[in-house]
Structure 1
Amino acid sequence: MEKFRDELKSWMKESGKSRDWVAEKLGVGKRTVDSWFSYKQIPEKKQKLLRELMEKEQQPKQVEISMDFTPEQLEMIRQAAALRGETPGEWCERAIKALTAVSVALNDYHRVGGKGG
């Protein structure tokens, strides 16, 4: 029981979920959730629901993005994708992930005042 409670606490901290969020998802009051973290056991049915929520929340979210390309841009994407053995959609997904990583790195760089390491 303690193991699950610790696992839940850790997951909540990592995912930014509050006790209010847990209470709302399980249809109980926050005081009930507070008691689970203090002295009461979490009922088996609620543990099962919490595990399902934890698994669901850890799954990657699917997002659909729509963009307009000129015929020339689309052909460049097709050619670049073909060189890597990818579909144009796979190529675009990889490119967006790479650009996102660069954006995060630049934001981190600026947040620390533009100083390296």
Structure 2
Amino acid sequence: MSSKDEKENVKAWLKKIKKDRFWLAEQCGVHKRTVDSWFFKKSEIPAKALLTIYDLMFKQGHLSTEEELVVDESGMVTLELEFDSEQYQIIKTEAERRGLDAGTYCSELIQNAFSTDEE
């Protein structure tokens, strides 16, 4: 999915749930002007923020994943993620800093995004 498509999906979702960018900023732990900057023509929504947004969308039943998910016999789900070269370099650098490969690091990020203090 392109950055433009992601932005349009997030805008449509916010409109559908009747929430504004102030609310989204609060959910993502950033300032409203940061959220505004994500929607500039040449800007992109950072990967970490997208994970938070997709988590919110999923929890509210607004993220359709049935066609996009591959589930193996053990119940593990395979996702395909797309990053531009700059985003991938950031992920790769952080993964290496932690002694992980990029795939393992992304998997841990996603698992942490869905974990709670109760688990």
- TM-score interval, smaller chain: 0.3 to 0.5
Rg (Cα) greater in structure: 1
Query: TM-score if structure 1 supplies the norm length?
Result: 0.48
Compare relative contact order (CA 8 Å, sep 6+) and give the higher one, 1 or 2: 2
The TM-score with structure 2 as length reference comes to: 0.47
More helix by share: 1
